[in-house]
Amino acid sequence: MDKFLEIAKFLINTNTVNFIIMVLILGYLVKKMNLGKSFEQGIDSVKALISKSDDAKSTSKKHFDEAQALINGLPKDIKTLENNSAEKIDIFKAKISDNTKKAITNIAANVEKSVSIEEKKISNLLTEQTSKDAILQTKTNLEEMLAKNPELHNKFIENSIKELDKAEL
């Protein structure tokens, strides 16, 4: 029994009994307050949060990879756009040049037509004026000839009558 007393003294002096009592009280409180279930709910909640976090992390990683792929392909896309733009610029230059040449050709043709029309108008005006002047001069000359030589008047009338007789009605 001495040994038992020595062990009891040792336990009392080392706070082992206090620790055992404290563990028993905590165990009782955990059972009584249903803290185990609360701990399990907390653990489940933490697991759910970790799962959501992992899902969000994988989604973010996926978006990051997609964005990284876009960024990595950006120089190639820029070169493609530059090449396409250069081709389109060349096409537009060619079209503008062609349209300009056509417009110049059309303008030149229209100018030539206008000049030709104006020349014809002027020519017609000159011809008309010359014809009027010639007719007036002829009339004046005929009047002078008839005034100087009245026989010509009679001869003209006879010739006109002969010409009318030749005409068939």
Q: Summarize pLDDT for 14-39 with one digit per residue, the tens.
A: 777 778 888 888 888 777 777 677 77
Read off the tokens for 102: 């056509």
Q: Which amino acid is at 21?
A: I
Q: Is 146 exposed, middle or buried (0-12, 13-18, 19+ CB in 10 A)?
A: middle
Cα radius of gyration rounded to whole Å, the chain? 63
Report how far residue 68's alpha carbon sits from residue 70's, in angstroms, rounded to the nearest whole number.
Answer: 5
Q: Is 168 a residue whose pLDDT tops 70?
A: no
Task: State the amino acid at position 34 in one-letter form.
Answer: N
- How many Cβ atoms from other residues are within 10 Å of residue 120's Cβ? 11
pLDDT tens across 109-167, in order? Answer: 989 999 989 888 888 888 888 888 888 898 888 788 878 887 877 787 888 888 877 77
The reported pLDDT for the residue numbered 169 is 56
**What pTM was computed for the model?**
0.39
Indicate the average pLDDT of the chain: 84
Confidence of residue 62 (pLDDT cuts 50, 70, 90): very high
List phi, psi (to 5°) of 87: -65, -45
First to last CA, the chain: 181
Could you tell me if 11 and 17 are in contact, meaning their C-beta atoms sit under 8 angstroms apart?
A: yes
